[in-house]
Homo-oligomer: A and B are copies of this chain.
């Protein structure tokens, strides 16, 4: 299967702490790199990681709190100083457009590559990016300000050709793609060899749901249903459920409940409050409801 993986650059909440950078991660799908959120210090983490950051062409910003976007201007500027020429597309709530343009007009006058802004409405569900192999859907979360989650979904691929079977029946190479796409093969003698005998099923389409920052949000369950991995807001433990409610964030139990209800395969907890020296308490709380849970941490890469 082709690579589909998530690398965490920062998973702390609110302000950088000695332990965590603020939100940012890079998703690699079939050779393409996508960044989600860009808190202060993201470019520092990028340089320390093994991410080939010159290949990031699309950045998705969930909402306009500083811990999710204060690293954007510095990264745009540094990409210019490092000689970038490829266009960079920023998908973010519409409101960011004029602010970013104002800042770039002041600080990035000599940029030698194009930064294209594509605003979206975080209060509605819509496909905001699509190419041959995947789509990215933005959907509303429940936060103090308009805030989107993102669902990265592979598109179906063709079935795999069974080379031994194809050779056995004498399928010519120029006919391979038609067979892989569902066609049967007719031999020179007129025998019909069905598609199923010549192929193995395509890989299943994988998906990754980024759900940060949000209170428990049942309205998104149908959208992220069956996700292979969910990254979920886990700012607090249930002991601080009052704070979670007040600030429109989630507890570990909220995150686990979401994973259960979404029939997810795996859950990654993130956006940790700095109050927890040891986040094991969050992990244990979530695992009671949803065993296949892990903690995010800086520089962790998870394959899907």
Contact = CB atoms under 8 A, between A and B. Distances in A.
A77 B81 contact: no
How many chain A residues sit at the interface, stated as a range, is: 20 to 34
B43 A15 contact: yes
Nearest to A76: B66
Contact of A77 (B21, B41, B66, B77): B66
A18 B44 CA distance: 7
A102 interface: yes
Closest 3 CB pairs of A and B: A15-B78, A40-B74, A70-B74
* This chain: copies in complex: 2
A106 B73 CA distance: 15
Nearest to A71: B40
Which of A40, A47, A102 has the most CB atoms of chain B within a 10 A radius of its CB?
A40
Interface string A30-44: 000000000011011
7 contacts: A15-B47, A16-B78, A21-B44, A40-B71, A64-B107, A66-B107, A70-B73
A17 interface: yes
A294 interface: no
Interface string A89-109: 000000000010011001100
Interface string A11-33: 00011111001000000000000
A48 interface: yes
Contact of A18 (B18, B47, B103): B47
Contact of A74 (B66, B77, B103, B107): B66
A123 B31 CA distance: 50
A82 interface: yes
A15 B81 contact: yes
Contacts of A48: 18
A77 B70 contact: yes
Contact of A47 (B16, B43, B70, B81): B16
A167 to B, nearest CB: 51
Contact of A14 (B41, B70, B71, B81): B81
Contacts of A78: 14-16, 66
Nearest to A106: B99
Contacts of A18: 47-48
Nearest to A66: B77
B15 A82 contact: yes
A254 to B, nearest CB: 22
B81 A17 contact: no
A102 B98 CA distance: 11
Nearest to A102: B102
Interface in A102-161: 102-103, 106-107
